[in-house]
Homo-oligomer: A and B are copies of this chain.
Amino acid sequence: MEFKAIVVDIDGTITYSDRSIDCRAVEALRGVKVPVVLATGNVLCFARAASKLVGTGGLVIAENGGVIECGIVEFDKSHMKMCEEAFKALNRHFPLERLDPENRITEIGLRRNFDVEKARHILNEFSELDIVDTGFAVHIKSRSINKGTGLKRLAELMGISALDFVAIGDSPNDIEMLKASGFGVAVGNAHPDLKKTAKMVTTGEHGAGVAEAIQHISGKTAI
């Protein structure tokens, strides 16, 4: 099968666990001939900065699919009210710290300094809500938005299908993105749940895994 693009998670996948960039991923992605999309749970201005620095031309999925950019910026704020209500309910139990409140527009990001399992229990009544722990932050978000839905819409704007993508990630919030893609890759350091979803699990971790995946695929088709 021929792939027309790559979508790759940022934190933990093209970065080390301290969130600093892994230059092995940067070099590998720069060698690719097809468009590269960066996908993240982080906000748009972070995703844009990362795209500029990695040199991938500005195609991004931010806020776990809530915001996408492909020439134009699209976002879905419709679930924010519900997220705010859930935040208030949760804040009665934990002293929460919001991440980038001034820039995050479609979901709520929280510092990982509270018991996420207990939080899930407290928010049980919010059936449309999803609480995602990426290992870098906890996100209160709508179940109907994820990196998979973001990828499908971005692919549409690019005039291709999500199935034309190779998707590479490390975390549970990459599951839907890998499932929506044509070929899902989990890097060696990925969460076990993501590895179960992936068609390929690399031996290398972080950037080495990204380079390994790209080399594997480019041996079979032109990317």
A residues near B (Cβ < 8 Å) are 15, 18-21, 23, 26-27, 30, 43, 45-46, 48-50, 52-55, 100, 103
Contact = CB atoms under 8 A, between A and B. Distances in A.
A10 to B, nearest CB: 9
Contacts of A27: 23
Q: What does DSSP make chain A's interface, helix, strand, loop or mixed? A: helix
A46 B54 CA distance: 13
Contacts of A54: 20-21
18 contacts: A18-B55, A20-B53, A20-B54, A21-B53, A21-B54, A21-B55, A23-B26, A23-B27, A43-B45, A45-B45, A45-B46, A45-B103, A46-B48, A46-B49, A46-B52, A49-B53, A50-B53, A53-B53
Contacts of A15: 53
A19 B55 CA distance: 7
Q: Top 4 A-B pairs ranked by shortest CB distance?
A: A20-B55, A49-B49, A23-B23, A45-B45
A55 to B, nearest CB: 3
Given A23-B23, A27-B23, A49 B55 contact: no
A23 B55 CA distance: 12
Given A45-B45, A46-B45, A19 B103 contact: no
Contacts of A45: 43, 45-46, 49, 100, 103
A34 B50 CA distance: 25
A30 B49 CA distance: 20
Given A21-B53, A23-B26, 19 more contacts: A15-B53, A19-B52, A19-B53, A20-B52, A20-B53, A21-B26, A21-B54, A21-B55, A23-B23, A43-B45, A45-B46, A45-B49, A45-B100, A45-B103, A46-B48, A46-B52, A49-B49, A49-B50, A103-B103
A91 to B, nearest CB: 23
A20 B52 CA distance: 6
A19 B48 CA distance: 12
Of A20, A23, A49, A100, chain B has the most CB atoms within 10 Å of the CB of A49
